[in-house]
Homo-oligomer: A and B are copies of this chain.
Amino acid sequence: MTKIIINSDRLLEDLHSLRSFGCSGTGVIRPAFSAADISARHWLIKRIKAAGLTAKVDPAGNVFGLPPSSEKALLLGSHSDSQPQGGWLDGAYGVITALEIARASLECGGPPIAMVSFQDEEGRFSTLTGSKLFSGALTLSDADKLTDITGTSFSQARLSMADICQSEFIDPKLFSGFIEAHIEQGIVLDQANQDIGVVDSIVGINNEKFSFFGQQNHAGTTPMQLRRDAFQGLVRFTTELNLALADIVIDSTVWTIGHVQLHPNAASIIPGRVDFNLQWRDASDKRLTAMRKVIHNCATRISTELELGLEHHSFSSVPATVIDPQLMDQISSATAQLATDRWRHMPSGALHDASNLSSVMPVAMLFIPSIDGISHDFAEDTAIRHLILGAQVLAASVSR
């Protein structure tokens, strides 16, 4: 077995170089196809070439570093675009870790390791746009019609990188599998004082919008017993749903009412309508479906009991991702050696590019801790020793 030894100084130096593109204070402003994002991708291509890898950019702006080998390579990576106002590690950590390991493996005659930085993971046009295109979940002609909030289309945006993009996508069959290293973006590892999370599943997400309709009325002249108050309907629904779901969920299941809009939303008027969004996530698609049934039953029961109208709008569903057991075992073994007992298996509550790639190759993921669980925020950070340990674990996982 050739053991891949990473150069942690070089890793940290490259991480800080990538951070400088779009840097604002401690965070970054580097949305997909922004000037900062394109400059960062140009810099990345230089680093790929300097490492002795072949740089290729597909029509979506996904940047690959391919090893000089006829064998199938293991692909590592993540994304280098950021939230409109994001942290410096979300995506960037997985990209630079991949670069360092591909480079180190080439230097020491290790196995063929390729790296990638996907484009528009953070959803300027659509979530995980670059990996959707690479994996075939989205066609380029459909992607080209997508627009950002200012009305700029994906086809217009990618023109700004056209000079370095080739006309064809990279064939996923070139790769034996994909491993993504990422910050946790949650508080579980930090709070448990653990160093590494080996991802055993990426949750599926169901999202559904509902409205309860009551009778808008004067808040002074309408007795309580004659009211049909849409907000009170939402309160009853939320309370009873929490109880009903408790019977069928596991510890890692989550559900959230994050958006609520009352109509007309005035102090002296009984709400005649409330729109709200319910989102639920779980690693089992079967459980997601069972939850949906409980949610619908509960909403229907409340609407009947309180004489409220009920409408469902725009259900959307992203299925749970199956993690490849063999890749996960390789990561678990390496983690057990390097992090002794300070690690855990855990689900990923957030979507990642690995979700899309699971349809075309085996995938796995590992997490390093986020300090205080903060992400999508300038304050996002991770201890230096965890930045290095994550790369060491991943390097050990892919050595063979």
Q: Which residues of B contact A239 (CB under 8 A)?
A: 235-236, 239
Q: Which residues of B contact A256 (CB under 8 A)?
A: 219, 229, 267-270
- With A223-B252, A235-B238 as contacts: A218 and B258 at CB distance below 8 Å: no
In the bound complex, CA of A256 to CA of B257 (Å): 21
Q: Does A226 contact B (CB under 8 A)?
A: yes
Q: What's the number of copies of this chain in the assembled complex?
A: 2
1/0 per residue, CB under 8 A from B, across A302-315: the answer is: 00000000000000
Q: Does A382 contact B (CB under 8 A)?
A: no
Q: Does A25 contact B (CB under 8 A)?
A: no
In the bound complex, CA of A265 to CA of B274 (Å): 13
In the bound complex, CA of A161 to CA of B244 (Å): 63
Q: Does A191 contact B (CB under 8 A)?
A: yes
In the bound complex, CA of A81 to CA of B319 (Å): 58
A11-19, A67-75, A181-189: which one contacts chain B? A181-189
In the bound complex, CA of A256 to CA of B252 (Å): 36
Count chain A residues whose beta carbon lies closer than 8 angstroms to a beta carbon of B.
57
User: Which of B191, B238, B252, B259 makes the CB contact (< 8 A) with A232?
Assistant: B238
In the bound complex, CA of A269 to CA of B218 (Å): 33
Q: Which residues of B contact A262 (CB under 8 A)?
A: 258-260
CB<8 Å pairs between A and B, sample of 23: A185-B221, A186-B222, A187-B221, A187-B226, A205-B220, A218-B376, A219-B256, A220-B349, A221-B349, A221-B350, A221-B373, A222-B373, A223-B254, A224-B255, A231-B257, A232-B242, A235-B235, A258-B262, A258-B265, A258-B269, A259-B265, A259-B267, A260-B262
